[in-house]
Amino acid sequence: MSSVDAVVTGAGGFIGGHLVRTLLGEGKSVRGVDVKPLDEWHQVHEAAESLQGDVSLLDVARQTVDGAGEVYNLAADMGGMGFIENNKAACMLSVLTSTHVLMAARETGVGRYFYSSSACVYAAEHQTSPDVTALREQDAYPAMPEDGYGWEKLFSERMCRHFLEDYGVQTRVARFHNVYGEYGTWDGGREKAPAAICRKVAKAVLTGDHSIEIWGDGQQTRTFMYIDDCTYGIRLITDSDDPEPVNLGSDELVSINQMVDIVEQIAGVTLERKHDLSAPQGVRGRSSDNAEIQRRFGWAPSTPLADGLERTYRWIHDELKATL
């Protein structure tokens, strides 16, 4: 294949599509690849080379990254908590993608390799209370990550470390904390909490059925990072000289009930809440400790949740309205 400045795997996904846009905005030539057909991609950018391909296969991974100055590996079989808790084997099989893209990057002499890890690498024992102590990078060890998805991410982090140590591949790793925004999955079972709540509130507004189902008691807490902060952080971390994994997430902690409050306020409605205590809930509390990213880079994600949710809600409202 021809030489390009950057390759993005998982380019048809939510974060991947936004990252391609960011890289193009910097004037880079970009090749995006995703296992999904192009008509299922969240965004397709005319200025980028967009290809369907399964980079869990080593030969496809080699072809994909050949001639790339940088590789951003975002490809993984994943979704929201409902998907992760019920598809542990499928999540673990993403190790084939993580392994083969990294091997291909080494073989083809890629200059920089970015790996998208996750806050799911942290042990559940640090996340048992809604009044959570923010997770620090060193809390990933001793290791007991979230079953399935978390184990795959932590293993692949270690592989990045050893490819740097043994082969000199310039790997960079960010641990994402709950990314949300426009042009993402908002229904079908793989959506995450912000998109699901925005969809449910929008549906209540559009249909007049002023009720909402909330998974769990709604007291579980999280931090949520707006997509523009995420792509900025990816670029900052990739260009840095620091190979150690770093949290990339907001530290604005809210409960799920509080997030429903915010979206209701945006939509101008008050809904009857029904709590499904049998639904997947994940850990009780999770927050990003941003001391390291601030120390290393003098920056941390800072978009207020209310601002990001307003943009996300307006987009999902219009998408849903078009289907009704």
pLDDT in tens, 162-215: 999 999 999 999 999 999 999 999 999 889 899 999 999 999 999 999 999 999
Predicted local distance difference test score (pLDDT) of residue 313: 98
Q: Which helix (DSSP H) or strand (DSSP E) does residue 9 occupy?
A: strand 4-9
pLDDT in tens, 274-296: 999 988 877 788 899 999 999 99
Contact between residue 145 and residue 121 where contact means Cβ atoms under 8 Å apart: yes
Predicted local distance difference test score (pLDDT) of residue 280: 82
DSSP conformational letter for 136: P
Task: For domain 182-223+253-288+304-321, give the fold.
Answer: UDP-galactose 4-epimerase; domain 1 (3.90.25)
Predicted local distance difference test score (pLDDT) of residue 286: 87
Homologous superfamily of 4-179+224-248? NAD(P)-binding Rossmann-like Domain (3.40.50.720)
pLDDT in tens, 111-156: 999 999 999 999 878 777 777 789 999 999 999 998 999 999 999 9
Q: How far is residue 117's CA from residue 174's CA, in Å, rounded to a whole number?
A: 6
Work out the percent of the chain whose per-residue pLDDT is above 90.
Answer: 88
Predicted local distance difference test score (pLDDT) of residue 284: 86
> How much is the mean pLDDT over the chain?
95
Q: How far is residue 279's CA from residue 94's CA, in Å, rounded to a whole number?
A: 25
Query: What are the residue ranges spanned by the domains of the chain?
Result: 4-179+224-248, 182-223+253-288+304-321
CA dihedral sign of residues 143, 192, 92, 97: negative
Instruction: Output the CA angle 16-215-88, nearest 5 degrees.
Output: 55
Residues tagged active-site:
149
Q: How far is residue 220's CA from residue 301's CA, in Å, rounded to a whole number?
A: 21
Residue 85 pLDDT more than 90? no
Work out the percent of the chain whose per-residue pLDDT is above 70.
Answer: 100
pLDDT in tens, 38-75: 999 999 999 999 999 999 999 999 999 999 999 999 99
